[in-house]
Chains A and B, each alone.
Chain A
Amino acid sequence: MDVDTEMQSATAQGTEESKENEWVRINSNDGFSYLVRRKVAQTSGTMANMLDPNGGYAEAQTKICTVDERGIVTEKLVEYMCFKSHYQTVGPKEDIPVQEMQERIPPEIVLEVLLAADYHEM
Chain B
Amino acid sequence: MASRYDARVPSLIFLCQRVAANNAEAITSLGSELSFHLVKPILERCGPDQLVRLEEASPHLMTDTPDIWREMCFQKYRLIAEEHYSPSDEPEDPDSWKNRYFFLQEAEIKRFEEVGSRIRSQRMEADERKKEREVRFTDRVPPPKRSRTGGWGGAPAQPKTLFQKTRTEASKIQKAFYNSRSVPPRQVGKTVRVHATPDHSILPPIPSSIPSRVTVNTITLPRHPPPSGSSASSSSPASTTSRASPPSCQSSSFDMGSKGQSTRDYMTPLSNASSPPPSRSSTAPPLKSPGPIKKDPMASLFVPKHRAYSQRPHS
Residue B245, interface by CB 8 Å: no
Q: Which residues of A contact B6 (CB under 8 A)?
A: 84, 88
Tally of A-B residue pairs with Cβ under 8 A? Answer: 70
- B2 contact from A88, A102, A105, Cβ within 8 A: A88
Looking at B31-39, B92-100, B107-115, the stretch in contact with chain A turns out to be B31-39
**A89–B5 contact, CB under 8 A?**
yes
Shortest beta-carbon distance from A104 to chain B in Å: 9
With contact pairs A88-B2, A115-B34 given, residues A98 and B9 touching in the complex (Cβ less than 8 Å):
yes
Q: Which residues of B contact A87 (CB under 8 A)?
A: 5, 8-9
Q: Which residues of B contact A118 (CB under 8 A)?
A: 13, 38
Interface string of A108-122 (1 = CB under 8 A from B): 001101110110001
- A111 contact from B1, B22, B30, Cβ within 8 A: B30
**B19–A105 contact, CB under 8 A?**
yes
**B5–A114 contact, CB under 8 A?**
no
Interface size on A, residues (CB 8 A): 24
Cα A96 to Cα B6 with chains together (Å): 11
Q: Which residues of B contact A92 (CB under 8 A)?
A: 5
- B8 contact from A96, A107, A122, Cβ within 8 A: A96
Residue B188, interface by CB 8 Å: no
**B17–A114 contact, CB under 8 A?**
yes
Residue A1, interface by CB 8 Å: no
In the complex formed, the residue of A with least CB distance to B30 is A111
Residue B15, interface by CB 8 Å: yes
- B12 contact from A77, A88, A96, A107, Cβ within 8 A: A77
Interface set, chain A 47-63, CB cutoff 8 A to B: none
Q: Which residues of B contact A101 (CB under 8 A)?
A: 15
Interface size on B, residues (CB 8 A): 27
Tell me whether chain A's interface is mostly helix, strand or loop, or mixed. helix
Shortest beta-carbon distance from A72 to chain B in Å: 14
Cα A16 to Cα B2 with chains together (Å): 12
In the complex formed, the residue of B with least CB distance to A39 is B2
Shortest beta-carbon distance from B3 to chain A in Å: 7
Q: Which residues of A contact B207 (CB under 8 A)?
A: none
Q: Which residues of B contact A102 (CB under 8 A)?
A: 15, 18-19
With contact pairs A77-B12, A102-B15 given, residues A114 and B20 touching in the complex (Cβ less than 8 Å):
yes
Cα A90 to Cα B9 with chains together (Å): 11
Q: Which residues of B contact A110 (CB under 8 A)?
A: 16, 19-20, 23
Shortest beta-carbon distance from B21 to chain A in Å: 10
Q: Which residues of B contact A77 (CB under 8 A)?
A: 12
With contact pairs A107-B26, A117-B16 given, residues A84 and B34 touching in the complex (Cβ less than 8 Å):
no
Interface string of A63-99 (1 = CB under 8 A from B): 0000000000000010010011001111010001010
Q: Which residues of A contact B3 (CB under 8 A)?
A: 89
**B8–A117 contact, CB under 8 A?**
no
Cα A84 to Cα B1 with chains together (Å): 16
Q: Which residues of A contact B31 (CB under 8 A)?
A: 111, 115
Shortest beta-carbon distance from A29 to chain B in Å: 15
Residue B224, interface by CB 8 Å: no
Residue B84, interface by CB 8 Å: no
In the complex formed, the residue of A with least CB distance to B29 is A111
Given contacts A105-B15, A114-B34, A118-B38, 17 further A-B contacts (CB under 8 A): A16-B1, A77-B12, A84-B12, A89-B2, A89-B3, A101-B15, A102-B19, A105-B16, A105-B19, A110-B16, A110-B20, A111-B20, A114-B13, A114-B16, A114-B38, A117-B16, A122-B12
Provide 16 A-B residue pairs closer than 8 Å at the C-beta atoms, listed in order of the A residue: A16-B1, A77-B12, A84-B9, A102-B19, A105-B15, A107-B19, A107-B20, A110-B19, A110-B23, A111-B20, A111-B27, A111-B34, A113-B16, A114-B20, A114-B34, A117-B13
Interface residues, chain A, with chain B CB atoms under 8 Å away: 16, 77, 80, 83-84, 87-90, 92, 96, 98, 101-102, 105, 107, 110-111, 113-115, 117-118, 122
